[in-house]
């Protein structure tokens, strides 16, 4: 029975994510033809899936029916699973590692190393702020009773953030890179349930936060890039000049504006 519910969860989550990818695919042809606009632009419809996932998780905290479903999964995990599997501690990082790994083996993505790194850092910052804020606000107890920071799932958020980054970077090469990332991310969420570390609502909300964090990083990057480039173009010059006055050795700082 527990395996059927896991399968059901995976099918539903993948269906939601696939809907998001279909929305983005409406612009893929244009992106293939217009290479001068490599960054994705904000469109309200791109919010539908991640916001729906996050909303489901938040509503589930105070909803009797969804909490009952959470408890059913917890009880079946306790009854049917004897040994925990720690693969989710590693699989959460696989999609993100693929962002760089695919480039390392010669598959060219949308952005160069520097740009990708800035986008990844921005995604992590957004995700970290969202996760910590929600964990401290709701203080949901974990299914195993180990802590009161269950909602939302950080492992799942990290995995789905990486999956969305892979999708955005390599969808013009092959959509299957993104789909593979989402499969790994969904498996990570399933293992968080399997190991009795999270409720279903935690995992679903974590997926939404991860996707939205990555999308937001791409939306913000053009502004960040302009800011960084403007700093490079300033005329400020700084130099360290050594000196010796017969008694002391030191360095002087000279700056021009």
Domain chopping of the chain, boundaries? 2-228
On average, the pLDDT of the chain sits at 82
pLDDT, greater one: 249 or 221: 221
Kindly indicate the confidence band of residue 166, based on its pLDDT and cuts at 50, 70 and 90.
very high
Handedness of CA 150, 76, 207, 181 (dihedral sign): positive
Coil, strand or helix at 247? coil
Q: Are strands 249-256 and 237-244 parallel, antiparallel or unpaired?
A: antiparallel
Could you tell me if 85 and 191 are in contact, meaning their C-beta atoms sit under 8 angstroms apart? yes
User: In the chain, how many H helices and how many E strands?
Assistant: 10, 2
- Tell me how many degrees the CA angle 49-221-54 measures, rounded to the nearest 5: 20
> What are 186-232's pLDDT values in tens digits?
999 999 999 999 999 999 999 999 999 999 999 999 999 888 887 66
Question: 3-state SS string over 116-156?
Answer: HHHHHHHHHHHHHHHHHHHHHHHCCCCCCCCCCCCCCCHHH
pLDDT tens string 59-92 = 999 899 999 999 998 888 877 777 788 899 999 9
Which three-class secondary structure state does DSSP give residue 243?
strand
Per the DSSP assignment, residues forming a β-bridge with 219 are none
> Which pLDDT does position 102 carry in this prediction?
96
- Give the number of C-alpha atoms closer than 13 A to the C-alpha of residue 55, restricted to the C-beta side: 6
Burial zone of 246 (CB within 10 Å; 0-12 exposed, 13-18 middle, 19+ buried): exposed
0.85 exceeded by pTM: no
């Amino acid at each position: 029975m527990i395996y059927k519910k896991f399968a059901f969860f995976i099918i539903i989550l993948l269906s939601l994510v696939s809907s998001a990818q279909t929305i983005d695919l409406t612009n893929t042809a244009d992106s293939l033809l217009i290479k001068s606009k490599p960054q994705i632009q904000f469109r309200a419809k791109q919010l539908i899936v991640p916001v729906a996932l996050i909303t489901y998780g938040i509503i589930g905290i105070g909803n009797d029916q969804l909490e009952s479903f959470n408890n059913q999964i917890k009880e079946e995990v306790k009854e049917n699973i004897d040994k925990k599997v720690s693969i989710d501690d590693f699989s959460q990082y696989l999609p993100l590692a693929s962002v760089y790994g695919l480039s390392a083996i010669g598959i060219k993505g949308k952005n160069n190393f520097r740009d990708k790194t800035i986008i990844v850092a921005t995604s992590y910052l957004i995700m970290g702020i969202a996760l910590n804020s929600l964990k401290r606000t709701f203080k949901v107890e974990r299914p195993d009773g180990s802590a009161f920071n269950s909602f939302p799932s950080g492992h799942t958020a990290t995995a789905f953030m990486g999956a969305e980054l892979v999708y955005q970077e390599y969808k013009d090469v092959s959509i299957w890179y993104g789909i593979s990332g989402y499969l790994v991310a969904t498996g990570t969420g399933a293992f968080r349930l399997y190991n009795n570390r999270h409720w279903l609502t935690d995992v679903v909300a974590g997926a939404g936060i991860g996707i939205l964090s990555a999308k937001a990083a791409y939306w913000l990057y053009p502004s960040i890039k302009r800011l960084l480039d403007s700093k490079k173009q300033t005329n400020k010059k700084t130099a360290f000049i050594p000196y010796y006055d017969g008694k002391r050795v030191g360095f002087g700082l000279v700056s021009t504006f």
